[in-house]
Amino acid sequence: MVPGGGGATVADVIEAWAGLPLAWRLGAGALLGAIIGSYLATLALRWPRGEPASRGRSRCDGCGRALGWADLVPLASYVMRRGRCRVCGAQIDPVHPLTELAAALIGGLSLALYPGVNGFAGAIFGWVLLLLATLDIRHFWLPDRVTLPLVGLGLGSAWLTGTPSLADALIGAAAGFLLLVAINIAYRALRGRDGLGGGDSKLLAAIGAWLGWPMLPFVLLLASATGLLAAVAARLRGVSIRATDRLPFGAFLAVAAWPLWLARDALATFLHLL
């Protein structure tokens, strides 16, 4: 409690949340995620253009009309407007509903399956990874202003929750960074060009901080499999892929990391049984 007052602390709120029924945590987490996803989508669209995401009213990209509250309800507005501006008919960028849906899924599952501090930490981890994946897919960009704080947040989460241990998180951050740096150095020596961007190594450092070093092989395996599936899907759509084409490996790392965070307890139990 706040001294001299009757307000609840963050710990009180988290404790009360953990006592809610599973369905309530799932629904409330999904709702919170959808709202945050709306902001993440705006940030992913505006930031690469040099526009602030937190200032100024949201506007239609087609006619510039300021959007009212009825146009900004996550997911529902997109469905009701059939993906188009109700005034000019311009198509709304699908990054909005896709990001809102993914963020809702992250929030709902994190806060339902891990009630308490762990759930909120995992939701934040997933939402930041979602932003990074979106930026990497659209712009091949993993900004240091996001990846480096994510390393610190991962270490802070490990210190606060004890999962992973702080030692495993520190080793994971260092190993994740150095591993991809070493791979890129070897690739450059063999091919005469970079095979990975600098942001990829910083992102894997952040993932290592959140998951701990024992999880890094699983992250790389799942990320590689995701990238392979993406390449196969592109070929099936008739898209030609050459050896020199760029692929958003950071997005594949992000897509692999959060499900592994979600399944980490089950995976740890399985590994101990081997």
Domain range list for the chain: 8-114, 116-274
Q: Tokens 């309800």, residue?
A: 73
| Predicted model pTM | 0.89
Residues 6+ apart with CB under 8 A from 57: 66, 67
> What span, in angstroms and rounded, lies between the C-alpha atoms of 1 and 181?
47
SS3 label, residue 66:
strand
pLDDT tens, residue by residue, 78-100: 777 766 766 666 677 889 899 99
> What does each C-alpha distance from 14 to 35, 78, 89, 107 come to in angstroms?
19, 32, 43, 14
pLDDT average per 10 residues of sequence, the chain (274 residues): 54 70 89 94 90 65 58 70 66 88 96 89 97 96 96 96 94 97 88 83 97 95 93 81 80 96 81 58
Is 249 within 8 Å of 227 (Cβ atoms)? yes
Structural contact between residues 108 and 33, judged by C-beta atoms closer than 8 angstroms: yes
